[in-house]
Amino acid sequence: MILADQKPVSKKTPLPCFGSEMDMTTVTCRGCPHKGGCFETMGRRTRQRIIGEAEFRFVPEAYDTPKDKPTLRYAEHIYGHIYETVFGRTPPSGQSLSSYFPTIEKQRAEVGCSLKIYMMACMLSHADNQARQVDFGHKDVERPFTPSGLANPANRNDVLLLKKICIRQFGTFNVESLERLTDSDCAENDLTRRILNSEILAGSFIIGWKQNNQGWPWKALFAEHELDLDVDWLTIDPTYTDFIRPKKTKKVMRDDGEIVEVPIEVKEPKLTVAQRRVRYAVNHRTGLFKRRKLLALGVFKAREHIMPLAIRRVLSKWHMDPADFEISYEVENSRPLMVWYWLALAIQHVHMIWALEGKPSQFSDFTI
């Protein structure tokens, strides 16, 4: 009730995000008039947010590139991996999309599909056309695909035809429908799918292992699933590379106070033939990624892209949701497997709380 001699005073209403999420690295939070009260309300959760809204950054500084022209950068990242998927080999070095990219984007928009599907369809069409000309005796060898093929109007027309047939037969135009139509193995060799499957496998193992074991899970993970994880996934994972290339020196302080490197004895593990093949492949890919940074960037970006989906799928096995957990900005930029490690501990704590409250949990039958 407002009395006659009182005048209403307007007050600024806090935003919907007040007290629930705060990031002072953004212009929105720095310029917000409620940032003081929001900071006090957030408390220790100031640098945390819901894990489903996390923006993971796994690209090392040595592989990072300028952020200008993001669509062109994305195209360059995925071009080499799509080339490998379709033709089974890396593209020749020195190829660039920049001069053809405006035409590529125009033709992709005319087809009405994603850049990834457009590239894959162009390459599949090229491979089929070249194979037919060799079979019919019009050519002796197949002409290799180049970035100019993505800007070729003839290939655009072929992609339009492929899209029409895929939608008519399978109801959609994606990697799986292209694979079925062209009788290729694109879906199985697709980089995003390979990285996603490996991430789900690793995350599921780490969370399950930590519920009943103490210490770091890396040795157990790679002992159990080294042969099951994708080679590109293993190549960019620093935890795995440290596992197969242990340090052979350590820093010690001499009596005079000087810190020096001294050798340590490292026992060489006994490896099976299959393990040696995997590690040889990882070493080969490591050298390739150092020479061809765009290929490495494609894998790092794919892992960043699939991480939220992998978290959602793994948590669903525990009947939980990404909205149930928060993550700090430091963990978002840390080693990927550390995300799973801290998530495993959080799930363990949740089940302990449920057990203490008398709710069903994995510790329900535990007695002291």
Q: What pLDDT is stored for residue 367 in this prediction?
A: 46
* Mean pLDDT value across residues 120-135: 85
What's 138's DSSP letter?
A: S
Output DSSP code: residue 132. Answer: H
pLDDT band at 40 (very low <50, low <70, confident <90, very high): confident
| pLDDT score, position 3 | 44
Q: How far apart (Å, rounded) are the C-alpha atoms in residues 272 and 355?
A: 43
Return the minimum-mean-pLDDT range out of 77-86, 150-159, 290-299, 350-359: 350-359
Helix then strand then coil, % of the chain, to nearest 5: 60, 5, 35
Q: For the chain, what is the mean pLDDT?
A: 83
Instruction: Name the most confidently modeled range: 12-21, 142-151, 174-183, 198-207.
Output: 198-207
Task: Tell me if 51 is assigned to some domain.
Answer: no
Domain boundaries, position 156: 61-189
Instruction: Output the six-digit token pair for 349.
Output: 């704590």
Tell which wins on pLDDT, 356 or 117.
117
Of 39 and 7, more confident? 39
Is 151 inside any structural domain? yes
The answer on 306 and 177 residing in a single domain is no
Highest mean pLDDT among 18-27, 99-108, 123-132: 99-108
The verdict on 205 and 320 lying in the same domain is yes
CA distances from 83 to 4, 19, 119, 225 (A): 77, 47, 9, 28
pLDDT at 52 over 60: yes
Q: Is residue 166 part of a domain?
A: yes
* 138 domain-assigned: yes
Whether residue 246 sits in one domain with residue 164: no
Domain shared by 229 and 349, yes or no: yes
One domain for residues 340 and 208: yes
Phi, psi of 260 (to 5 degrees): -130, 160
In the chain, count H helices and then E strands. 16, 4
Say yes or no: 221 and 297 in one domain. Answer: yes
Is residue 113 a contact partner of residue 171, using CB atoms and an 8 Å limit? no
pTM for this structure?
A: 0.78
Say whether both 216 and 71 belong to one domain: no
Does residue 55 belong to any structural domain of this protein? Answer: no
Cα gap 308→302, rounded to integer Å: 11
Give me the number of domains the chain comprises. 2
Which pLDDT score is estimated for 27? 75
Which single residue is written with the structure tokens 């957990």? 325
Q: Is the pLDDT of residue 66 over 70?
A: no
Contact call for residues 262 and 283 (beta carbons, < 8 A): no
Distance, CA of 264 to CA of 247 (rounded, Å): 8
153-170 helix and 175-182 helix, angle to the nearest 10 degrees: 90
Quote the pLDDT of residue 334.
Answer: 81
Torsion sign, CA atoms 346, 351, 352, 356: positive
Q: How far apart are CA 264 and CA 253, in angstroms?
A: 15
In this structure, are 216 and 306 located in the same domain?
A: yes
For the segment 205-223, the average pLDDT, to the nearest whole number, is 92
Asked whether residue 214 is assigned to any structural domain, the reply reads yes
**Is pLDDT at 365 greater than 70 in this prediction?**
no
Beta carbons within 10 angstroms of residue 332's beta carbon: 18
| Exposed / middle / buried, residue 126 (Cβ in 10 Å: 0-12, 13-18, 19+) | buried
DSSP string, 45-69: GGGEEEGGG-------GGG----SS
Task: Write the DSSP assignment of 200-253 as a string of letters.
Answer: HHHHHHHHHHHTT--S--HHHHHHHHTTTS-HHHHHH-HHHHHHHS--SEEEEE
Say whether both 198 and 171 belong to one domain: no
DSSP state of 12: P
- Both 203 and 138 in one domain: the answer is no
Q: What percent of the chain lies above the pLDDT cut of 90?
A: 33
Q: Name the amino acid, one letter, at 148.
A: S
Please state, as a whole number, how many other Cβ atoms lie within 10 Å of the Cβ of residue 168.
8
pLDDT beyond 70 at 81 = yes
- Please state, in angstroms and rounded to a whole number, the distance separating the CA atoms of residues 177 and 196: 19
